[in-house]
Each structure stands twice: as C-alpha cells, then as structure tokens.
Amino acid sequence: MAGERKSFEDFEARASAQVVQQMTKTIGVTMSQGIAAGLIVDHKLEGTLRHFPEDPTQDDALVELHADALANVLCEQILAAADGATDVSAVGVALPGIVRKGVVEDSPNLPQLKGARVQKSLTGLLSEQGLHASVTILNDADAVAAGIAATRGLLDRLIRVWTLGHGIGHGRYPFQPGIWEGGHSVVTLDSKETYCGCGGRGHLEGIMGQRAMRLRFLDMEPEEVFEAAKKGDLRCFEFKKLWHRALAAATATTIHMSGPGKFFVTGFNVRFLELPMLQDYLHQMVKMSPLQSYSIEAIPKNEESDIIGAGVAAEQALAAGNS
C-alpha cells in the first residue's frame, strides 16, 4: 500500500506541475508596420489584442519613432495586454532583422533599432511598472514558425516557414542559434538583380519582396503583374516563373543543408503562390532520394498565431534559461 501511495503522490505532483505549466501566462508581441500584443494562457490568446497605431492604414508609424520612443510604446502595449496581471512570467517580442542575445544587430525595415539592446531596455521599463517578466527578443519569422507549431499541435516537429511580405522571412521551430536571414539567400547570379533592400545582389527578397516588385515594375502593382501573367502577358509571365523558381531555389538550399521536413508559406503575398508550379521547380532541384520527403503547405497570414508564437518562444526560452 505504501508503494501505491507513493506512486499516487508522484502522479499527483506531476499532474499539478503540468497544470501550473499549462496555466503559465505570457505575452506575445509582433512588430512590423505596427505593433500587436496579446495575453497568452496555455498557448491560447485571452482577452483583447492591443494594436499600435489603432489605424491599420498608418503603416509608417514605427519608422517615425526613435529607438527609445519605440521601446516606450512597446512597454505601453505590453502593459495594456497584461490588463493588470502581475503574474506574467515571460514576454516575447518578434521583430524583423538579425536578433541575437536580446540585441537587434540589424533591421533594414526598422533601421533605428540597429544595435539597440531591446531586451535590456524593455526589461527595465516593464520592471519600473511592476511587471517583472523574462523578456525574449526574436526574429518575427521564428515567431510565425513557433505559432504554427503551437496552434497545429506540432511542437515536437521541425517546422520551417517562408513569410512573403514587404520583405521575405525564413522562420524555424524549434529555435536554433544562427542568423537565418533566408530572405537574403542568393538565388541568381544575374548582376542586374539589385532590388533587395539591403543592397545585395541576387537575393530572394530582391525578387519576391513587395518593395522589390514595385521597383521592378514601376508601372504596375504586384497584384496587377500576376493578374497580367494569367492573361498571357509575356513579361509578367516570365517574372511569375522567376518568382516561383527563386522560392524553389531557396527552399532547395534549405533542404540540402538541413534536410527535408514540413515547410509552410504564409504572409500577405502568399496569394500569388501556385503550389504546383513551386513543387515542379523544387522537384527539378532536389534529386537525392533521402531528401525528397518534404512537404509544402500554403496558409493565410494569421496575426493571432504569430502572437502566440512569440509567447511560446518566450516561455521556452525562460524554461531553457536562455531568455
């Protein structure tokens, strides 16, 4: 009986610990053209999302703020999402650029953050307001990957994701230290391919990014280009093929470096993606049989999933002692 009692006590302790872990409160934040923040309990959003600016058409609000002012706005949105809760254990902030050890080493989309110690400054600001939480800063595409894994029950899988927007992001779950600027993968040796915002030649983002497409077709918006391609316009159709070949090339490189697995493609420009064309080009590029067990799925952009991903990343960083 004593042995049975001990076994029951061990089970009860494990169950209680699991409940505590599940009820851990975190806050996820995404930052691109604007800021979105939400409270997360057990990998689910709770309460109302907070946005800055409130007007979604104001897409230059963050660029106009210097680094300290941006940190203050971030703090305000996090506190608003917490809604008075003081038991928030971790905060995850996802933003574009190269992020390592809480420092934004470069961020072409938010240049004022280059070199900013966002983790340190934000931790201090939150502590001053009574919110003593672990803060994790991560690349926004990594948050997308973590959000997909969390919301689809894939937290035990390797997930890679391409985000197609103003720039091109490459996210990976689980987190692994590295640069992971997959949008700047070199996919062509054409010396005329100079449309990437970083100034580099032949980059994936210089072909697929929203900004790059507008520079390439000064007389047409990207959606007009792909619509014209459907109607048989030769220039537009050739670009459509280049667009898909570029993504296939970057994906093939990832497969050859890290192996096959599950890939997702998302972002507001996923609307231009034709999976059969992408898969055909990819099949031409990946020929080794052990590497052909990959799969690709296109999914719509999901703000809530991205915010959950930022929170999940912060929770896991706290548990690993790496925040």
Q: What is the pLDDT of residues 113-138, one digit of tens each?
A: 999 999 999 999 999 999 999 999 99
Q: Is the pLDDT of residue 16 over 60?
A: no
Q: How far apart are CA 224 and CA 207, in angstroms?
A: 16
Average pLDDT over residues 99-108: 91
- Per-residue buried b or exposed e for 282-299, using 16+ beta carbons within 10 Å of the residue's own CB: beeebeeeeeeebebebe
Owner of token pair 């077709």: 217
Give the mean pLDDT of the chain.
90
Strands 103-106, 168-173: parallel, antiparallel or unpaired by DSSP? unpaired
Asked if pLDDT for residue 13 goes beyond 50, the answer is: no
- Which tens digits make up the pLDDT trace of 226-256? 999 999 999 999 999 999 999 999 999 999 9
Q: Which alpha helices (H) appear in the chain, and where do they start and end?
A: 2-22, 67-82, 118-128, 140-151, 205-208, 210-216, 222-230, 234-258, 275-285, 303-320
Q: What is the pLDDT of residues 167-202, one digit of tens each?
A: 999 999 998 888 889 999 999 999 999 999 889 999
Where does residue 51 rank: exposed (0-12), middle (13-18), buried (19+ CB within 10 A)?
middle
Q: Does residue 213 have a pLDDT over 70? A: yes
Residue 101 CA, chain-centre distance (Å), reads: 17
154-159 mean pLDDT? 94
Q: pLDDT at residue 14 above 90? A: no
What average pLDDT does range 72-101 have in this prediction?
Answer: 94
- What's the pLDDT band for 57 if we cut at 50, 70, 90? confident
**Dist CA 209 CA 244 (whole Å):** 12
Q: Give the global pTM.
A: 0.87
Confidence category of residue 304, pLDDT binned at 50, 70, 90: very high
User: Structural domains in the chain?
Assistant: 2-140 (3.30.420.40), 146-298 (3.30.420.40)
Question: Between 140-151 and 303-320, two packed helices, what is the crossing angle to 10 degrees?
Answer: 100
CB neighbourhood size of 89 (10 A): 16
The residue ranking higher by pLDDT, 61 or 291, is 291
Give which of 214, 264, 263 is closest to 239, Cα–Cα: 214
Helix (H, G, I), strand (E, B) or coil at 193: coil
Compute the average pLDDT of residues 1-28: 52
Mean pLDDT throughout 39-59?
A: 89
Note the pLDDT tens digit of each residue in 257-281.
Answer: 999 999 999 999 999 999 999 999 9
Contact 270, 235 (CB under 8 A): no
Q: What is the mean pLDDT of residues 84-110?
A: 91
Percentage of the chain exceeding pLDDT 90: 80
